[in-house]
Structure 1
């Protein structure tokens, strides 16, 4: 399983970071060919499902993620339950000085891809999700 963890400091308070990180559709803003939506619930309760659909023309796959743990505004854990992407994602936020520290951790398994490629998957994850995290935490006002 490919594993990676990203840590960012933000001048925003934890509640603002939380609002930005859980504005699920915005996650797709920086992932190529991907749209993110809440397909079950509000995206704010355990059991809710967020779907990342990655497609280029007629070719694509779904990455459904069930929200399995939530402690607003400090922690959420998502279980990746797709046919292509399996694993988990965890978002943690804590106060740090006058702002916050945000940690995004993932464990990914790509169906059919040998474990030999886990380092490359982790590197790609750090690059792609680092862009997403930076975008979400940018200090311009968040929109939902």
Structure 2
């Protein structure tokens, strides 16, 4: 398992940043070759136990990224929003921890992820985690635009 983190700041208020990052319906627009096939809901509809699946494929060759919301608490009354999502697919496994908090007239968005790609470990696993960090960073920036 490899861990990476991404921190972004945005002029958006915390509630709006939260809604954008966790709007599952929007993820297919920012993740290349990926579409949600199950559970595509908005941020305010997510509850613990909510299951969603993102299919990444080129033609008939692809995989399902199976995820379940373990914890979710949107930002409220100055308190940061926090979510924990467990990835349990056969190809991508791990856990995402998202925190959205007020920051200098906008928001700070922190995405931390424990990431494993199949059984790849060592240098190949690190390379896959580095590629995932770049891809997630790009997707998060697009969601917050």
**Scaled by the length of structure 1, what TM-score is found?**
0.88
Number of equivalenced pairs:
138
Q: Residue 17 in 1 paired to residue 17 in 2?
A: yes
Q: How far does the alpha carbon of each residue in 1:15-73 deviate from its partner, in whole angstroms, 9 at most, with x for none?
A: 00011011112122222210125438875100001211111111111011000001112
Q: Residue 36 in 1 paired to residue 43 in 2?
A: no
Aligned to 2:78: none
Aligned to 1:142: none
What RMSD, in angstroms, separates the aligned Cα atoms of the two structures? 1.7
* Structure 1 residue ranges (4+ consecutive) displaced by more than 3 angstroms after TM superposition: 40-43
Contact residue 25 and residue 37 of structure 1 kept, 8 A: no
Q: What pairs up with 1:23-102 in 2 under 5 angstroms?
A: 23-39=23-39, 43-73=45-75, 74-102=81-109
Contact residue 10 and residue 99 of structure 1 kept, 8 A: yes
Could you say what secondary structure the match of 2:139 adopts?
helix
Question: Structure 1: which 5+ residue stretches go unaligned?
Answer: 139-144
Q: Work out the CA distance in 1 between the residues paired with 2:134 and 2:59.
A: 24
**Scaled by the length of structure 2, what TM-score is found?**
0.88
Contact residue 65 and residue 89 of structure 2 kept, 8 A: yes
